[in-house]
Every structure is written in structure tokens, then in C-alpha cells.
């Protein structure tokens, strides 16, 4: 054992040495080969490609280049708006984020930049609905001659695995509270239930209405005209031009002639601009506003990044919340949520710390793509809740249970026998379903938490449990639908939430504030420790690299409840009803 332990120590030290050497080489490369500055009359080239993180928390990202995130893109557009070295923006939406909250956040920033009077040109090679919504913010939309405008409408997809479980002899013994708490349906059903279909159709319809409303306003058409044009899609460039959905059909080298960017404009890549853009830091004496990020599935413990995606650990987030609460130099806080929920216990622990924070200083919530179920639970303490129209929120309901795999073992020729002491010692055994008495116990626990959830929502929204229960039942709403039902106060993005926090703290709207971000970017040593400790997650990530973004999301949605159904713990987790 001592020899094996010594070998592992040597291996660990060697890996550390290699990684540290790589980090030093990368740092030296950055230090001694800095990118060139902003060219005279440069045009900021903004490529939107793939799903985007809210912020970067990896210290290695900045060694080679500044990471592209939602926050860095919006900061760059805000800086370019007044930067005299930047004469315009060329938008290239190649593959927009998968969900609508981030798309709307980015579009808001593009519209704000456009108010500067500088040209904003969108160059499309092939654009779907989300890419076109981003492009519609531009003063001019250009489509490449061999391209295609895939403005075809929205569809929603749900995976059902009950048939698979039946084939292998397994049974999902899952319970839920709320007719629309459909997260369990992935495992217990072979298709849509009436409630599940109704909710999914409602979400899809509202997202589609938002889509055609944005396009109609941007292209100066009626909603009915846009609806008709979508039904004629996808369109070749000539059709898109004749119908007024694009302004020009041209190759990249031709767009400067009629776009206002200039014939020979100089490209300024976003990654380069992020390293040289004007500092937006306020004076050291300026008042501080904290921005707390809660991104990922809510779990007990430290959280981090695993095979099911990013996790919000209750231990780490509450540590940051207490730090903000006790720092008298911080005058207000904004909680930025992008989470489908998760552990009910962890959600309640975070809720408690946020309630203590709101008693000391203004707390405003900003919702990104997702702030549902446990994600909505931690939003409740906010004095004001701000969401994008396309945010998925609500899902006030819970589920629990277990997966019974005794039949699977039997099919493989295995037999499970047990001995136990205590009436409910085998309650969570995966070898058999719940007994009627055990089922009652689980249902009692779930009902108690659901009632508590509804009562807390009612208190935070100045309503009654009866009214909240009517719009709860596990139902997911878009941000726009949630605002109509009193679950959200305003529609907008992170800048609007910060402005509200600033106002509530008594800070003038024209006063520059310091934004203090949590979690802070970890040190290199912390990142190395996380990397070395995450071998299993790294293997999973390598295997999933071959999958498409949608396939990875589907896999994570299926894995998440499988991983989180611990002994007796109920989950407040969003069902997989993502609108495409």
C-alpha cells in the first residue's frame, strides 16, 4: 500500500509540473506577444458561435485570450458605443445560444449599441430563427449569395424513456406534486400527457409570438405578414431580399460598399478588443454593487463542473452571500440566475441566506435562460425580479422517488436478497418499488415542501397561497407569461437589474458604480486542483465532445435527476421542455 501511495504521489507531482509548465509557457507567450491595439477606424467583428457561459471562472481562459461570454460581449458593445477608435460593428451570428433568454440579452445590447449612430451590420451565411433575431437588431442585414434564411418557426422536443426502461426490466417509481411537474414524465411516460402537451404548446406559442413580434418591429412589417413569410420559409437569398427580410445579398468582401462600414474597413476581432477596450472601472471611491452568479444545477456542497454540467453549490454560494451581506462598502446586490433548479434542501439553504441579505441591503434578481423550480425558489428573496421575455421560469413543484432495477438484474441472471432491521430500512432500495406505507411517507414529505414553497412565493409576491397554487402546479412559464401572472416584476436584462439595484440603494443613475462579481475567478492552483480531481468528468466531457449541443443538453437533462435522486430528497427541477 505504501509503495502504491508513493507512486500516486509521484504521478500527481509530475502532472502538476507539466500543467504548471504549460501555464508558464502560455503566460510568457501572452506577456511577450501582446495582440496589436485597435486599428484606426476599426470595425468590431462580433462572432456569436455556440452556447455562451454567463461569465468565465477559469483562470486559464485569459492566458491565451479573453473568454467570450455573455458578460464580455455586452461589456464590449457598451465600450464600443463610445470608443472613438471603433467606427462600427459587424455581427456574424453563426450559431446562437440554444435558449431565448441569452439571445434576448445579447439583442438588447446590440440595440443599445445601435443608438450610438454607428453602423451595425449583420452578415449571414445561413441563419435560423435565433440567429435572425440577433441579426434583426442591425441597421443592415446582408446574406451571402449561396446562403439560406431558415426562418421556419419554433418546435419543442421531449424525450420519453419509459419504453427503454420496460425493455430492460427497470421501473421508475417516481412521485410528483403539481399536474405540470413533468420532469418525471421523461422516465414514466411513453408520450405527452394532456397537461404536459398543454404546457409545452403554451411555451412554444408564446416564444413564437415573441419571435414574430421582434421581426415585425425590426423589418417594419405586420405580425400577420411575418407569420405568412415564416410559413414560406426556408428562403433562398433572392426570396429573402424580395420579401424585405434582408437588405442585400453579397459576399464578405462586398459588404463594405453599401453598409456604411467603408470599402476597406479594418477588422477588429472581439477577442482582441476585449484585451484593449477602454476600462469601464469606476473610481476606487465609487459605491459598489455586487453581482452574484448562480449558474447551473443547485446542489448541496461546493458544486463545480461535472458530467451533468455546471453546478451551484450551496456551500460556496452562501459563503459569497454572507461576504456581500457583511461588506459595508457594497450598497446593493444583484443575483443573476441561470439555473433549472435542483436540490430542495440546497435551494432552501440559499434562500435563507438571501433573506438575511435582503434585510440589510437592496437585492434585485436578474433571470437569464432559466430560473425555474429551485431556480425560482432562490429568486423569491429579491425585492424586484427582472426576466427576459423568453426566460423559462416558474415550475413551482417538486418530485421524488427512485429507479427500481431489480427486474434488470433478474434479466441478467442475478438475484438480490436482503436482511434489514427497521420498518423502513429498505425504503429506498433499488431492488423493489415503494410499499403503500412507504409511498405515503414520501408523499407527506413532498407535500410539506410544496406547501412551504407555495407559501413563500405567496409572501414574496404579496399574494395568497390559493392564488399561487393555481399558477404553480409545476407549470413552466416564459418570462412574459410570468410577469402577467405576478411572478416577475419587470422584463429586461442584467443592465436593467443593476440600474434598479442602484436606484434602490439611493445611488444616482448617472453615478458610475463598481461591479463586484461573485464567484471571483479562482487562482491557478485552485483550478489545477479542480482539474486533477475531475478525471471522471474530463472523460465524460471528451466522450460528449462528439455530440451536438442539443444532444449534450438532452443527455444532461436525463442524467441530472438520475444523479440527484438521493435517499429521501425531493427535487425542485425544471422539466426538459426547451423551445427550439
Encode 239-257 in three state secondary structure: HHHHCCCCCEECCHHHCHH
Give the residue among 204, 193, 192, 130 at the shortest CA–CA distance from 158: 192
The secondary structure of 83-113 as a DSSP string is: -TTEEEEEEEEEE--SSHHHHHHHHHHHHHH
Q: What share of the chain has pLDDT > 90, as a percent?
A: 65
Question: 137: helix, coil or strand?
Answer: coil
Average pLDDT over residues 12-24: 51
- H/E stretch holding 483: helix 479-484
Question: Hey, which of 40-54, 61-75, 332-346, 516-530 has the most confident mean pLDDT?
Answer: 332-346
- Rg for the chain, CA atoms, rounded: 25
Q: What is the pLDDT of residue 29?
A: 41
| CA distance to 280, 328, 361, 367, 402, per residue, from 287 (Å) | 14, 10, 13, 24, 50
Give the residue among 569, 564, 567, 568 at the shortest CA–CA distance from 297: 564
Instruction: Return the HEC string of 341-401.
Output: EEEHHHHHHHHHHHHHHHCCCCEEEEEEEEEECHHHHCCCCCCEEEECCCCEEECCCEEEE
The β-bridge partners of 141 are 122
Between 439 and 523, the more confident residue is 439
Average pLDDT over residues 369-382: 97
Q: What is the pLDDT of residue 579?
A: 45
pLDDT above 70 for 77: yes
For residue range 501-516, what is the model confidence (pLDDT) as tens digits? 999 999 998 899 999 9
pTM of the model: 0.86
Q: How far apart are CA 175 and CA 110, in angstroms?
A: 45
Q: How far apart are CA 274 and CA 163, in angstroms?
A: 50
Supply the mean pLDDT for the chain.
Answer: 86
Between 38 and 495, the more confident residue is 495
| CA distance to 53, 212, 246, per residue, from 225 (Å) | 35, 9, 15
Contact 403, 389 (CB under 8 A): no
Domains and CATH numbers, the chain: 42-152+233-276 (3.90.226.10)
For residue range 217-235, what is the model confidence (pLDDT) as tens digits? 999 999 999 999 999 989 9
Residue 157 pLDDT grade (very low, low, confident, very high; cuts 50, 70, 90): confident
Average pLDDT over residues 181-206: 94
Q: How far apart are CA 442 and CA 398, in angstroms?
A: 12
Contact 360, 331 (CB under 8 A): no
**What is the set of active-site residues?**
373
Q: What is the pLDDT of residue 283?
A: 66
Q: How far apart are CA 68 and CA 4, in angstroms?
A: 42
Amino acid at each position: 500500500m505504501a509503495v502504491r501511495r508513493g507512486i500516486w504521489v509521484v504521478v500527481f507531482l509530475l502532472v502538476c509540473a507539466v500543467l504548471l509548465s504549460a501555464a508558464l509557457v502560455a503566460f510568457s507567450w501572452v506577456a511577450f506577444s501582446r495582440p496589436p491595439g485597435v486599428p484606426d477606424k476599426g470595425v468590431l467583428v462580433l462572432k456569436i458561435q455556440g452556447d455562451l457561459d454567463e461569465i468565465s471562472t477559469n483562470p486559464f481562459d485569459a492566458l491565451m485570450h479573453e473568454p467570450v461570454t455573455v458578460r464580455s460581449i455586452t461589456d464590449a458593445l457598451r465600450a464600443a458605443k463610445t470608443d472613438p477608435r471603433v467606427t462600427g460593428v459587424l455581427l456574424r451570428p453563426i450559431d446562437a445560444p440554444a435558449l431565448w433568454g441569452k439571445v434576448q440579452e445579447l439583442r438588447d445590447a446590440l440595440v443599445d449599441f445601435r443608438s450610438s449612430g454607428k453602423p451595425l451590420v449583420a452578415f449571414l451565411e445561413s441563419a435560423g430563427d435565433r440567429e435572425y433575431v440577433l441579426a434583426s437588431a442591425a441597421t443592415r442585414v446582408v446574406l451571402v449569395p449561396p446562403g439560406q434564411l431558415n426562418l421556419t418557426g419554433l418546435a419543442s422536443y421531449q424525450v420519453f424513456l419509459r419504453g427503454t426502461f420496460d425493455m430492460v426490466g427497470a421501473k421508475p417509481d417516481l412521485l410528483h406534486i403539481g399536474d405540470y411537474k413533468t420532469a418525471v414524465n421523461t422516465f414514466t411516460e411513453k408520450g405527452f400527457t394532456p397537461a404536459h402537451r398543454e404546457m409545452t404548446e403554451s411555451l412554444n406559442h408564446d416564444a413564437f409570438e415573441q419571435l414574430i413580434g421582434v421581426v415585425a418591429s425590426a423589418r417594419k412589417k405586420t405580425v400577420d405578414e411575418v407569420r405568412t413569410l415564416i410559413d414560406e420559409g426556408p428562403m433562398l437569398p433572392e426570396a429573402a431580399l424580395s420579401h424585405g427580410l434582408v437588405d442585400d445579398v453579397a459576399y464578405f468582401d462586398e459588404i463594405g460598399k453599401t453598409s456604411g462600414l467603408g470599402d476597406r474597413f479594418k477588422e477588429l476581432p472581439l477577442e482582441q478588443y476585449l484585451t484593449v477596450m477602454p476600462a469601464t472601472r469606476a473610481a476606487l471611491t465609487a459605491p459598489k454593487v455586487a453581482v452574484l452568479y448562480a449558474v447551473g444545477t443547485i446542489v448541496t456542497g461546493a458544486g463545480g463542473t461535472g458530467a451533468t454540467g455546471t453546478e451551484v453549490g450551496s456551500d460556496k454560494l452562501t459563503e459569497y452571500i454572507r461576504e456581500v451581506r457583511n461588506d459595508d462598502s457594497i450598497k446593493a446586490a444583484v443575483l443573476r440566475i441561470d439555473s433549472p433548479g435542483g436540490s430542495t434542501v440546497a435551494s432552501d439553504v440559499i434562500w435563507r441566506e438571501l433573506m438575511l441579505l435582503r434585510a440589510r441591503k437592496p437585492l434585485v434578481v436578474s433571470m437569464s435562460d432559466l430560473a425555474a423550480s429551485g431556480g425560482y425558489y432562490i429568486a423569491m428573496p429579491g425585492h424586484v425580479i427582472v426576466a427576459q421575455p423568453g426566460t423559462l421560469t416558474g415550475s413551482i413543484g417538486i418530485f421524488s422517488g427512485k429507479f427500481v432495477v431489480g427486474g434488470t438484474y433478474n434479466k441478467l441472471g442475478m438475484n438480490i436478497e436482503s436482511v434489514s432491521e427497521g420498518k423502513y430500512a429498505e425504503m429506498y432500495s433499488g431492488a423493489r418499488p415503494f410499499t403503500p406505507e412507504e409511498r405515503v411517507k414520501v408523499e407527506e414529505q413532498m407535500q410539506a415542501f410544496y406547501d412551504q414553497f407555495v407559501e413563500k412565493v405567496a409572501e414574496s409576491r404579496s399574494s395568497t397561497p390559493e392564488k399561487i397554487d393555481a399558477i404553480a402546479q409545476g407549470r413552466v412559464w416564459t418570462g412574459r407569461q410570468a410577469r402577467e401572472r405576478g411572478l416577475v416584476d419587470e422584463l429586461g436584462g442584467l443592465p436593467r437589474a443593476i440600474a434598479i439595484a442602484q436606484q434602490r440603494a439611493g445611488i444616482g443613475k448617472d453615478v458610475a458604480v463598481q461591479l463586484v462579481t461573485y464567484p471571483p475567478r479562482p487562482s491557478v492552483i485552485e483550478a489545477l486542483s479542480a482539474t486533477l480531481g475531475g478525471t471522471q468528468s474530463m472523460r465524460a466531457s471528451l466522450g460528449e465532445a462528439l455530440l451536438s449541443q442539443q444532444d449534450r443538453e438532452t443527455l444532461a437533462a436525463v442524467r441530472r435527476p438520475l444523479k440527484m435522486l438521493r435517499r429521501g430528497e425531493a427535487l425542485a427541477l425544471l422539466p426538459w421542455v426547451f423551445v427550439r
